[in-house]
Homo-oligomer: A and B are copies of this chain.
Amino acid sequence: MGNCFFSQDKNTNVRVSLPAVCFVWEIAMVVLFGIFVRYNEEADAHWGEYKKTHNITTDMENDFYYRYPSFQDVHVMIFVGFGFLMTFLKRYSFGAVGFTFLIAAFGLQWALLMQGWFHSLDYSTGKILIGIENLINADFCCGGVLIAFGALLGKVSPVQMMVVSLFGVTLYAVEEYIILNLLHCRDAGGSMVIHTFGGYYGLAISWILYRPNLNKSKHLNGSVYHSDLFAMIGTLFLWLFWPSFNSAIANHGDGQHRAAINTYISLAASVVTAVAISSMTEKRGKLDMVHIQNATLAGGVAMGASAEFMISPYGSLIVGFFCGIISTFGFKFVSPFLEKHLKLQDTCGIHNLHAVPGMLGGFISAIVAAMASESVYSKEGLIATLGLEGNYANRGAGTQGGYQAAGTCVAMVFGIVGGAIVGLILKLPIWGDPADDNCFDDEVYWEVPEDEESIPPVLEYNNHMAHKHQDRCDSNYNLEQL
């Protein structure tokens, strides 16, 4: 109600723009998929012939069985994990889970194309050949975009998020190609390509879209009891399935196995230290749900690039230990500082959960890679784990470490520069974004049901009381005059 009053200066009606963007882009997808996308040999009905010509004796060797369980876990993380993690706002839960649904569902289609052109193009036919690994990578790519959404949550329109998604996926595919193919970095769990890029991309956009009067919506920029519980659903599914995230596209066999173990251990340590710092920095030692929902995940982010390496279980424990601390401190002290002094409004604190732990993860992987040796990995294991094959057979472990660090920087630069440009595009006054006093409010873009269970019975009761009272007390008391 107050909203209608204050917000007449902004047109948040997306009845034309949202359907238009959805239809134009979806039709483009149909056309481009028609031209370019086909099944790869493991998903094609010719698989039976392929098996024979490649001496494969069992369907179990189809990559589907190596990766499908992890794929489903990653899929849950992207939609339930990210979606529900962001439901913590008291009146933006529809937007959190609904826009996550929209932008990831669109984003994964565009990612199949963009990543396909870079990684899965069959040059003889000009077709992109997709299989289970492409689905995982498309989900990963959406993860990067959703991280950016975390910084923008409640302040942008769904049309703007579609734009963020389109450019985000595009930038992601390019930086991923540079980092994984040109620099030949190892980044199975995406510390660099997903978290560092996504984190800085979102921060740069949010910085450009700075709203000096955002405190007009301050009363909605917080949680209620049950919204915090919904957010814990997101947190837990992210936390639980992170071993699958970091191992989903790792090497078959020991690679996937080790990545899962390292991530499991690192995440466990993050929880304990995040709880410790949360209690230590709050009055009376009370825990803050913001920290429990977020900083507990830092160990998974930071382990992304090193998950496949022989970092050893205690190495993973140390990574989780420190990242839990750093991330909690970030939420407690750095985010308020950034907002006050750097004009950076970061709704979900992605700076502390993705940007910084992702960047740290990249540099950790540089150190771990540089320290790799044949005695620890075996000759064959070193080649397989660091990918020192083919053109890279002469690259030593130390050099690989340097490239890991370089890759991290590339992800940052792409995030910051790309985000700044996209931010400027989003400043155009055509996207239907909410006014400053209208942020963090589902009313703007959603048909929100009246919560009859809590409010109306009481109002009714009051009205009832008032009427009774009116009749009995005295006649100069008139409801209509209220």
Contacts and interface: CB of A to CB of B under 8 A. Distances in A.
Contacts of A453: 90-91, 224-225, 451, 454
B106 A272 contact: yes
Contacts of A60: 58, 60-61, 65-66, 252
Contacts of A477: 469, 472-473
A374 B449 CA distance: 54
B93 A225 contact: yes
Contact of A447 (B101, B135, B287, B476): B287
A285 B13 contact: yes
Interface string A266-299: 0111111101110110111111110010001000
Contacts of A421: none
Contacts of A277: 19
A119 to B, nearest CB: 16
Nearest to A381: B45
Interface centre among A45, A75, A93, by most B CB within 10 Å?
A: A45
Nearest to A471: B477
A45 B385 contact: yes
B285 A132 contact: no
Contacts of A396: none
Contact of A15 (B105, B219, B284, B447): B284
Interface stretch (A168-176, A188-196, A310-318, A409-417): A310-318
Nearest to A30: B317
A190 to B, nearest CB: 19
A93 B228 CA distance: 10
B106 A254 contact: no
Interface stretch (A31-39, A143-151, A354-362, A399-407): A31-39
A380 interface: yes
B22 A257 contact: no
A244 B72 contact: yes
Interface string A338-351: 00000000000000
Interface string A312-341: 111001100100000000000000000000
Interface in A7-31: 12-19, 22-23, 25-26, 29-30
Given A23-B276, A72-B241, A73-B72, A461 B461 contact: no
Interface in A74-131: 75-76, 79-80, 83-84, 87, 90-91, 93-94, 97-98, 101-102, 105-106, 108-109, 112, 130-131
Given A257-B42, A452-B219, A279 B18 contact: yes
A353 to B, nearest CB: 16
A465 interface: yes
Contacts of A465: 462, 466, 482
Interface stretch (A197-205, A209-217, A229-237): A229-237
Contacts of A109: 265, 268-269, 272, 317
B229 A135 contact: no
A318 B30 contact: yes
Interface stretch (A46-54, A179-187, A363-371, A422-430): A46-54
A44 interface: yes
B93 A279 contact: no
Nearest to A75: B240
Contacts of A237: 76, 80
B33 A314 contact: yes
Contact of A228 (B12, B257, B449): B449
Contacts of A468: 482
A105 B272 contact: yes
A39 B313 contact: yes
Given A39-B258, A131-B261, 8 more contacts: A18-B276, A22-B273, A39-B312, A44-B310, A45-B385, A69-B69, A79-B236, A105-B296
7 contacts: A13-B285, A15-B284, A16-B285, A38-B313, A45-B377, A83-B236, A91-B453
Closest 6 CB pairs between A and B? A15-B285, A45-B381, A59-B253, A47-B254, A105-B271, A22-B276
